[in-house]
Amino acid sequence: MYETHNDLPAGTRARVVKILNERLADALDLNMQVKHAHWNVKGPTFIALHELFDKIAESIEDQVDSIAERATALGGTAHGTLATVARTTTLKPYPATIVDGQAHVKALVAVVADFGGKVRAAIEATAKLGDAGTSDLFTGISREIDKQLWFLEAHLHAKR
């Protein structure tokens, strides 16, 4: 931890930075999984899904930056290298061989929902540690992830 005038106790900051780095690894992994789908989607809904996946990836990229910046603002280090992410992500690997649009949507629904649950756990954990700022950051990310999940799930619902 680096010295800072932030008034959160050093021990609290260290625990929060650990949580931030855990979610940073997941967010970076999620971003690459969405980009993989974006690059490899095929089928009759190609352009709609290609564009949707790109917008989701852009949203996640913003979240990645916010998480990393919060970790450093608290005096920590943002661990965002590919090697670190590969070692520490808690997300399941993306199925690399799918191409069908609906298969990509289903795979992304699963991973986005998983990430959303982990972000909600981070809201609670950081609030219990007394860091309302980080809890609020994760609350905003949760809202955005829920919106992206809704966009994805809309492609799975049949007409009534």
The series of mean pLDDT values per 10 residues for the chain, 160 residues long, is 90 98 98 98 94 97 98 98 97 95 97 98 98 98 98 83
Asked if residue 158 is part of any domain, the answer here is no
| CATH number, domain with residue 59 | 1.20.1260.10
Number of domains composing the chain = 1
Reduce the DSSP state of residue 42 to 3 states and report it: strand
User: Which pLDDT score is estimated for 1?
Assistant: 84
- DSSP track, 71-103: HHHTT------HHHHHHH--SPPP-TT--BHHH
User: Which pLDDT score is estimated for 29?
Assistant: 98
Return the bridge partners of 42, or none.
100
Asked if residue 65 is part of any domain, the answer here is yes
User: Which pLDDT score is estimated for 51?
Assistant: 97
Asked if residue 64 is part of any domain, the answer here is yes
pTM for the whole structure: 0.95
The answer to whether 155 and 103 have CB atoms below 8 angstroms apart is: no
